[in-house]
Amino acid sequence: MSSKRLFWDIYEKIASAIQSKELVAGQRLPSERELAETFNVSRPTIREAIIALEVKELVEVKTGSGVYISNKANTLCHTKQVNPFELTQTRALIEGEIAACAASSINKTELDQLAQTLVDMQTNSKVRQADREFHQIIASATHNNAMIQAVESLWKLRSEQTNNTNESDDICINEKQKTIEEHKNILTALKLGDANKSRQAMHLHFNRMINQLFDESESKAFEEIRLKHSAKRGKYSIDQFTNRSV
Amino acid sequence: MSSKRLFWDIYEKIASAIQSKELVAGQRLPSERELAETFNVSRPTIREAIIALEVKELVEVKTGSGVYISNKANTLCHTKQVNPFELTQTRALIEGEIAACAASSINKTELDQLAQTLVDMQTNSKVRQADREFHQIIASATHNNAMIQAVESLWKLRSEQTNNTNESDDICINEKQKTIEEHKNILTALKLGDANKSRQAMHLHFNRMINQLFDESESKAFEEIRLKHSAKRGKYSIDQFTNRSV
DNA sequence: AATAATAATCGGTAATACCACTTTGTATTT
DNA sequence: AAATACAAAGTGGTATTACCGATTATTATT
């Protein structure tokens, strides 16, 4: 089945041409009629591809004039790869601060919701979803929409990177008990309204995940990869951010 | 001039219908031919609108069957408003951690680039751009793509919110000297490789901006708005996050 | 009642025509 | 010769029609 629609092919060809700098910002695309002939498709198909490009903000359409490469096309195409270590470290720092912030603004309803996610996780139904909800509820508890968005964008980043979804997802599921215990510690700190303890508990949670990522890599990967990762272990440690004086 | 293309109208009507829960996830849209008749446009126009919806991942198209509301449509539509205070507080916490992280990984090239932005700012050419570059260079200095993305997503969030671009942009420009001085302090701390001082300097930078946002609001707005914001001043303070013990 | 053949419906693509707008080149005017 | 006005060509915007393949619902068959 599948059979992607034709315009996606055209879309990808033009998009990759932009990405590879064959088409520069500000440059005008050939007319729809020319493109139709070039790709051996009809004009409506070309139009659909252009609309897809426009929605993705890679091009700008000017009536009567033509289609032009957007000036932000380069930055948008430039969605760099993010490895699991980078992502986890970033989540640690950001969600650590969010936990500290939430400690003083979380209410009883949200505390109850957090407790519920622990139950959900224990009963083995949708472990992954319960994990995600836990972190999102804490973000919501800051009552700051920008922080909520920040957490969501990191989660989105995770799902966009196909290479790390499996790895880090496995960690949550395989080490369910550890995850639950750490979540419980975070919840306890939040209940106390203690910003520092909340941050610390959150850091411990992610720190364990990072170390586990290394361990899994080491046990699975070849020797050379193991060495490479071991060298990086220091780089991605977050210990230095957890304990600090004024 | 202008005259947005027709399909954007259709797109917005359907998108808002999804947002307002008139259309639920999994539900099937009327056929393209029906929609064309309903909206009094041609089928190609409907198709273009649907493609825009598909690119935005609000719907999924299944050949021979129909167009269905995506299950993640609700979360995607749910781009809440973010006020300047929320955004600035969030940037403070995240970029504070990023500065602390960058302190140990920044190299000479990046330090030079930061110094250059200070010069650019002083010479009055593109103050806003120099400000943005300053913060992005620091993010890059972490050498962590996830952190770079996080900062960029916050900047994107800022430009999406039409209401706060003016306000916070003005602050950067009107108080150029203060901004430059604070940037200089951050740069100094980074040069020393001192994570805590870097974080602290970054927090001071944003803290001043938050207070200034309040002052501007107070001087401009009506009395009732002033009272409302004064009540929030405590909520958005980041003092509690700057100074902390283990 | 279960299954297979069939008809209706849906999206996918193509071809064509006409409109409004922009651009550009030419011709007119100064 | 330069500036302006205008006309023609080109471009995207929209509509119409047609036909195809895939899916779904219906019907006929077993």
In a domain, A233, yes or no: yes
In a domain, A228, yes or no: yes
With a cut of 70, say whether residue A204 has pLDDT above it.
Answer: yes
- Using the structure block, give the residue that is written with the tokens 């033509």: A66
The number of helices, as runs of H, and strands, as runs of E, in chain A is: 13, 2
In a domain, B1, yes or no: no
Same domain, B89 and B71: no
Among B82, B144, B149, the residue with its CB nearest the CB of A149 is B82
Q: Which of B23, B49, B77 is the last residue of a domain?
A: B77
Backbone angles phi, psi at A205, to 5 degrees: -60, -50
CB pairs under 8 A between A and B: 132
Which residues does strand C reach (CB under 7 angstroms)?
A 5-7, 40-45, 48, 62-65; B 1, 3, 29, 31-34, 43-44, 47, 50, 61-67
What is the C-alpha separation between B80 and A142, in angstroms, rounded? 14
Whether B93 and A101 have beta carbons less than 8 Å apart is answered as: yes
With a cut of 70, say whether residue A230 has pLDDT above it.
Answer: no
- Taking C1' of D22 and every protein CA, the nearest residue is B64
**How many other CB atoms sit within 10 Å of the CB of residue B163?**
10
In a domain, B174, yes or no: yes
Q: Which of A77, A107, A133 is the last residue of a domain?
A: A77
Nucleotide nearest to B43 (CA to C1'): D15
* Sequential pLDDT tens for chain B (246 residues): 446 778 888 898 888 888 887 888 888 888 888 888 888 899 999 999 999 999 998 898 888 888 898 877 666 555 667 888 999 999 999 999 999 999 999 999 999 999 999 999 998 778 888 999 999 999 999 999 999 999 999 998 887 765 544 555 555 566 788 999 999 999 999 999 999 999 999 999 999 999 888 877 666 555 554 455 555 665 666 665 664 544
Task: Convert the pLDDT of each residue in A179-198 to its tens digit.
Answer: 999 999 999 999 999 999 99
Cβ <8 Å between B101 and A241: yes
In a domain, A59, yes or no: yes
Cβ <8 Å between A146 and B154: yes
What is the C-alpha separation between B154 and B188, in angstroms, rounded? 25
Domain range enclosing A35: 6-77
Same domain, B102 and B17: no
Exposed (0-12), middle (13-18) or buried (19+): which is B105, by Cβ within 10 Å?
middle
Cβ <8 Å between B240 and A195: yes
Nucleotide nearest to B34 (CA to C1'): C10
Cβ <8 Å between B145 and A98: no
What is the C-alpha separation between B82 and A146, in angstroms, rounded? 6
Which CATH number characterizes residue B18's domain? Answer: 1.10.10.10
Its sign, for the CA torsion B234, B238, B240, B243, is negative
Distance A196 CA to D20 C1' (A): 65
Same domain, A216 and A95: yes
Give the pLDDT confidence score for residue A72 in this predicted structure: 74
Give the pLDDT confidence score for residue A246 in this predicted structure: 40
Q: Is the CB of B5 under 7 A from strand D?
A: yes
In a domain, A118, yes or no: yes
Same domain, B107 and B209: yes
Same domain, B179 and B205: yes
Cβ <8 Å between B80 and A7: no
Task: Convert the pLDDT of each residue in A12-61 to its tens digit.
Answer: 898 888 888 788 888 888 889 888 888 888 989 999 999 999 999 889 99
Same domain, A221 and A164: yes
Minimal CA separation from A82 to chain B, in Å: 6
Task: Convert the pLDDT of each residue in A66-96 to its tens digit.
Answer: 899 987 776 665 567 788 899 999 999 999 9
What is the C-alpha separation between A231 and B8, in angstroms, rounded? 51
Query: Which residues lie closer than 8 Å to A76 by C-beta, 6 or more apart?
Result: A56, A57, A58, A70
Closest C-alpha to A149, from B83, B38, B53, B21: B83
What is the C-alpha separation between A26 and A73, in angstroms, rounded? 10
Same domain, A110 and A185: yes
Give the pLDDT confidence score for residue B239 in this predicted structure: 61
Give the pLDDT confidence score for residue B205 in this predicted structure: 95
Q: Is the CB of A63 under 7 A from strand D?
A: yes
Same domain, A70 and A106: no
Minimal CA separation from B220 to chain A, in Å: 24
With a cut of 90, say whether residue A171 has pLDDT above it.
Answer: no
Nucleotides of D under 7 A from a protein CB: 10-18, 21-24
With a cut of 60, say whether residue A223 has pLDDT above it.
Answer: no
Cβ <8 Å between A246 and B241: no
Same domain, B89 and B182: yes
β-pairing verdict for A59-62 and B66-69: unpaired
Minimal CA separation from B94 to chain A, in Å: 6
Q: Which of B77, B95, B128 is the last residue of a domain?
A: B77
Among A47, A61, A94, the residue with its CB nearest the CB of B94 is A94
DSSP class of residue A221?
A: S
Same domain, B168 and B50: no
β-pairing verdict for B59-62 and B66-69: antiparallel
Same domain, A68 and A138: no
Distance A68 CA to D18 C1' (A): 32
Distance A38 CA to D5 C1' (A): 38
In a domain, B211, yes or no: yes
Q: Is the CB of A53 under 7 A from strand D?
A: no
Mean pLDDT on A90-108: 96
Which CATH number characterizes residue B148's domain? Answer: 1.20.120.530
How many domains would you assign to chain A? Answer: 2
Give the pLDDT confidence score for residue B26 in this predicted structure: 83
Whether B214 and B229 have beta carbons less than 8 Å apart is answered as: yes
Distance A48 CA to C10 C1' (A): 19
In a domain, A1, yes or no: no
Exposed (0-12), middle (13-18) or buried (19+): which is A67, by Cβ within 10 Å?
buried
What is the C-alpha separation between A51 and B7, in angstroms, rounded? 10
Measured at the CA of B75, the angle between CA B149 and CA B64, to 5 degrees, comes to 110
Same domain, B176 and B232: yes
3-state secondary structure B25-88: CCCECCCHHHHHHHHCCCHHHHHHHHHHHHHCCCEEEECCCEEEECCCHHHHHCCCCCCHHHHH
pLDDT-above-90 percentage for chain A: 44
3-state secondary structure B119-186: HHHHCCCCHHHHHHHHHHHHHHHCCCHHHHHHHHHHHHHHHHCHHHHHHHHHHHHHCHHHHHHHHHHH
